[in-house]
């Protein structure tokens, strides 16, 4: 057995384990919005990797919700069943997103560290002639750091409240006074010749 093949095998194993270590899961739950709300029920489990060069998410498991007939709206979010509390912000969606001809897309929002802070649901209309994938999909949104202010620089705003960018002055606008002095000296004879 060659040493290079052993080393390449170990490197591939280390790469696979580090990639799977970056994978995280989020438990998405659903709850009917009504006068007497039921306990949140599992909807899907999403595996995601926000640390990769191309962040990705996939639906690991999905249970179609069984909702009472009078339900019109549902609450979607990341829920901790052991602590019995929502771990993320929740969103409200229509039960029409689960209707015939629609494929549910679960949108998971995560911060820079990979912690989930929001979940949403959107039904995407399916065209049977275009796609064969009717199952639920997952979409991962990773937040970007906001723009930092430039310190010690005055901010000039227009009457509409937008930042005013100063216009670059032309050569003549910058040095008009120097051009004026040269012209005056030329008209008066140069100044140094008058004494002779």
Inform me whether the pLDDT recorded for 18 exceeds 80. Answer: no
Percent of all residues in the chain with a pLDDT value above 70, rounded to a whole number: 83
Q: How confident is the model at residue 6 (pLDDT cuts 50, 70, 90)?
A: very low
Average pLDDT of span 39-45: 91
Q: What is the pLDDT of residues 118-158, one digit of tens each?
A: 999 888 888 766 656 678 888 898 988 888 877 877 778 88
Q: What is the pLDDT of residues 55-71, one digit of tens each?
A: 888 999 998 888 888 88
H or E segment to which residue 82 belongs: none
Determine the Cα–Cα distance for residues 106 and 116; give it in Å rounded to an integer.
Answer: 13
Q: What is the pLDDT of residues 149-170, one digit of tens each?
A: 778 777 788 889 888 887 888 8
For the chain, give every domain's residue range.
23-142
Q: What is the pLDDT of residues 88-97, one digit of tens each?
A: 888 999 888 8
């Amino acid at each position: 057995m060659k040493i290079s093949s052993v080393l390449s095998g170990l490197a591939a194993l280390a790469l696979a384990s580090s990639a799977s270590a970056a994978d995280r899961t989020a438990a998405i739950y659903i709850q009917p919005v009504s006068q007497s709300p039921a306990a949140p029920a599992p909807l899907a489990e999403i595996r995601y990797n926000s640390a990769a060069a191309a962040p990705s998410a996939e639906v690991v498991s999905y249970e179609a919700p069984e909702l009472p007939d009078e339900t019109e709206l549902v609450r979607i979010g990341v829920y901790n069943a052991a602590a019995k509390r929502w771990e993320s912000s929740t969103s409200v969606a229509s039960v029409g997103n689960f209707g015939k001809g629609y494929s549910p897309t679960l949108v998971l929002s995560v911060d820079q560290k990979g912690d989930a802070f929001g979940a949403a649901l959107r039904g995407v209309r399916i065209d049977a002639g275009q796609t064969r994938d009717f199952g639920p999909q997952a979409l991962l949104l990773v937040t970007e750091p906001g723009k930092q202010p430039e310190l010690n620089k005055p901010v000039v705003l227009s009457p509409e409240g937008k930042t005013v960018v100063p216009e670059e002055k032309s050569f003549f606008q910058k040095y008009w006074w120097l051009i004026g002095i040269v012209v005056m000296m030329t008209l008066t004879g140069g100044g140094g010749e008058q004494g002779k």
